[in-house]
Amino acid sequence: MSTVGGQTGSAVINGELWGERARDWAELQEGNRRPDFDVCLRRTGIGHGSEVLDLGCGAGGFCRLAGGAGARVTGIDAAAGMVDIARERVPDGRFDVGDIQFLPYDDRSFDVVTGFHSLPFAADPLAALRHAARVARPGGSLFIVIFGREDRNQLAGVLRAIRSLLPSQHSSAPGPTALSGPGVLDNLLTRAGVATVESGNVEKAYEYPTLDTALRAIRSAGLTLLAERTAGDAALTDAIASALAPYRTAGGGYRLEVESRYILGTP
Ligand SMILES: C[S@@+](CC[C@H](N)C(=O)[O-])C[C@H]1O[C@@H](n2cnc3c(N)ncnc32)[C@H](O)[C@@H]1O
């Protein structure tokens, strides 16, 4: 599958990692993000005829919902495996393999530009936000979602366990919580020329019926795959299972409370 626009090293690496287990992501992990998607639909007013761009669209879960609300959807993701699934699920959408740091779209061409847990993986998130502001129409919306405060994110221990297994040159690589510190995303948006309209939190639970399902879901993520390649299957399984243990339910599944933070802005 060909790639549109330019690409940085971080997008090439992320594309390869996130593409490998894209079907597990789509089937077992993406559904835990549904509350983020629903809040976005409500707060942006996406509806019939809206032109929507989703940055780091993954397997197209949000685009499917936005398309269902009547929007014309475009998604871009570095992982060809993700984009294949998005195209299957949303045949009317446009999906590109590319880098959110080099958006290949015309200025002022979208009413709403969204990014769900994708900006923190960019080596240069400011470049991605500047492009997002460029392709949004004046008076349009940017809706960016990231993980919220660490003390309100029960996945934090799992993420720390995975990070501890990464090779040293990747131990500080951009990852899921890179923009979650106080004011970090707000500051980047201001520098990208985006005015905040509102911000808020989305409370949700990540739920897995069995340990096997939890492991497959968590192991579909890019950084986790890198940890697996470095430390091996057994060490990774042990690390994730130990970090999940406090969240085991009486029924033998797992339930972790996770808070996301969103910012709705306008260029
Ligand atoms: C945590 S997943 C989120 C996927 C989707 N937004 C969702 O919520 O289901 C992060 C996604 O960002 C993509 N990604 C990471 N860095 C990227 C980059 N520089 N350009 C485009 N996509 C990127 C990955 O391939 C992956 O699909």
| pLDDT at res. 20 | 96
Domain 3-153+172-205+259-266, second-level architecture: 3-Layer(aba) Sandwich (3.40)
Where does 21-176 have alpha helices with state H?
Answer: 22-24, 34-44, 61-68, 80-89, 125-135, 156-163
If you take atom 20 of ligand 1, which residue's CA is the nearest one? 99
| pLDDT at res. 2 | 64
| pLDDT at res. 168 | 79
pTM to 2 decimal places: 0.96
Tell me if 128 CB under 6 Å of ligand 1: no
| pLDDT at res. 169 | 76
Tell me if 121 CB under 6 Å of ligand 1: yes
| pLDDT at res. 6 | 66
Q: How far apart are CA 139 and CA 142, in angstroms?
A: 10
Backbone angles phi, psi at 53, to 5 degrees: -120, 130
Q: How far is CA 34 from CA 23, 55, 88, 203, 227, in A?
A: 17, 16, 19, 11, 26
- pLDDT less than 50: residues of the chain: none
Residue with tokens 């579909």: 220
| pLDDT at res. 57 | 98
CB neighbour burial string for 36-65, b if at least 16 within 10 angstroms, e if fewer:
bbebbbeebebeeebbbbbbbbbbbbbbbb
| pLDDT at res. 110 | 98
| pLDDT at res. 174 | 86
